[in-house]
């Protein structure tokens, strides 16, 4: 296994105002899953999606200098300004000493959040018990399957589910049905940070995760990685796009298509948007 800095293999792209206006004129919604304020700046200069999803993994380069809550407030304000829905995602792994603090922080962010994505069963139980009136997405960390789906869907305010890895599950009870169509695919396992200095902890750590984007190379395959504020390392399958599947997925009920940019540099955003627009916009006019 080899760890290396992820290189820029994309071209600089420019788009017309007409391209930007066309981007949201579809009979489905687009969702950008992001991890950094830098990505937000690129989105602002490029294309505005219907939904922005963030929270579970925030770039350490941001939270090394800015409080998590303040980063989320910046994203919420951006979404409000541009009439974009904001979906707040929450951690899968929460040790006992962090639970109350993280729960209270997330709860304080309800205003300005259009949907909360819950990945931890204890978090979900507490959130539902408090009758907080906000739509809930059942996150990947809950490990939903055919045997327990009904139990979860009967909970109050459960409205959304990501079917990327569970396409065979019934979707009639969800009004928001997501599917990751481009970017990267998150792998199930979360590993200890391979960049971390074992002699230090937290933000005393002098690891390079704050300075660059990294990937693990194994058997000639590249796996983008990103570290969260708890020094957990999240691995992803390398970049892909499945835009040719959109019509089929729409036909079976999927109505939100996710572009997952979480571990990627911001210049991948216009790269994937170009691929998308070339497939689905007859009026696409990218400047050469």
Encode pLDDT of 83-118 as tens digits.
999 999 999 988 899 999 999 999 999 999 999 999
Q: How far is CA 173 from CA 3, 118, 142, in A?
A: 42, 17, 17
pTM, two decimal places: 0.91
Q: Cβ distance 136 to 158 under 8 Å?
A: yes
Q: Using pLDDT thresholds of 50, 70 and 90, give the confidence band for residue 129.
A: very high
pLDDT tens digits for range 214-244: 888 888 888 999 988 888 889 999 999 999 9
Question: What's the mean pLDDT in 46-68?
Answer: 93
Neighbours of 214 (CB within 10 A): 21
Q: How many residues does the chain have?
A: 288
Q: Cβ distance 231 to 193 under 8 Å?
A: yes
pLDDT of residue 13: 60
pLDDT at 80 over 80: yes
pLDDT of residue 58: 94
Q: Cβ distance 79 to 86 under 8 Å?
A: yes
CATH number for domain 28-187+238-280, candidates 3.10.110.10, 3.20.20.80, 3.60.20.40, 3.40.50.150: 3.20.20.80
Select from 175, 183, 142, 185 the least CA-distant residue to 270: 183
Please, which residues have CB within 8 angstroms of residue 65's CB and are 6 or more apart in sequence? none
pLDDT of residue 287: 41
Mean pLDDT, the chain, rounded, equals 87
Question: How many Å apart are CA 170 and CA 241, to the nearest integer?
Answer: 24
Q: Cβ distance 193 to 227 under 8 Å?
A: yes
Q: Using pLDDT thresholds of 50, 70 and 90, give the confidence band for residue 279.
A: confident
Q: Which residues pair with 221 in a beta bridge?
A: 218
Question: What's the mean pLDDT in 16-34?
Answer: 82
Neighbours of 28 (CB within 10 A): 17
Compare 10 and 162 and report the one with higher pLDDT.
Answer: 162
The residue whose two tokens read 């200890």 is: 192
Please, which residues have CB within 8 angstroms of residue 207's CB and are 6 or more apart in sequence? 193, 195, 196, 197, 227
């Amino acid at each position: 296994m080899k760890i290396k800095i992820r290189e820029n293999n994309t071209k600089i792209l420019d788009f017309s105002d007409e391209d930007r206006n066309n981007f949201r004129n579809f009979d489905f919604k687009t969702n950008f899953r992001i991890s950094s304020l830098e990505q937000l700046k690129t989105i602002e200069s490029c294309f505005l999606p219907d939904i922005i999803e963030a929270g579970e993994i925030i770039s350490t380069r941001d939270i090394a200098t800015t409080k998590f809550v303040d980063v989320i407030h910046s994203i919420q304000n951006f979404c409000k300004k541009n009439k974009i829905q904001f979906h707040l995602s929450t951690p899968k792994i929460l040790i006992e000493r962090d639970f109350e603090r993280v729960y209270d922080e997330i709860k304080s962010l309800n205003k300005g959040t259009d949907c909360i994505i819950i990945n931890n069963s204890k978090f979900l139980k507490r959130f539902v018990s408090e009758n907080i009136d906000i739509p809930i997405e059942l996150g990947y960390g809950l490990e939903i399957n055919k045997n327990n789906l009904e139990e979860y869907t009967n909970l109050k305010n459960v409205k959304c589910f990501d079917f990327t890895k569970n396409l065979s599950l019934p979707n009639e009870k969800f009004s928001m049905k997501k599917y990751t169509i481009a970017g990267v695919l998150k792998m199930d396992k979360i590993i200890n940070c391979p960049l971390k200095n074992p002699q230090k902890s937290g933000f005393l750590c002098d690891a390079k995760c704050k300075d660059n984007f990294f990937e693990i190379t194994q058997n000639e395959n590249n796996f983008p990685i990103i570290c969260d504020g708890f020094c957990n390392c999240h691995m992803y399958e390398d970049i892909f796009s499945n835009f040719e599947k959109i019509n089929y997925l729409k036909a079976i009920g999927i109505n939100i298509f996710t572009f997952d940019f979480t571990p990627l540099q911001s210049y991948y955003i216009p790269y994937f948007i170009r691929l998308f627009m070339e497939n689905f916009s007859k009026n696409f006019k990218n400047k050469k």
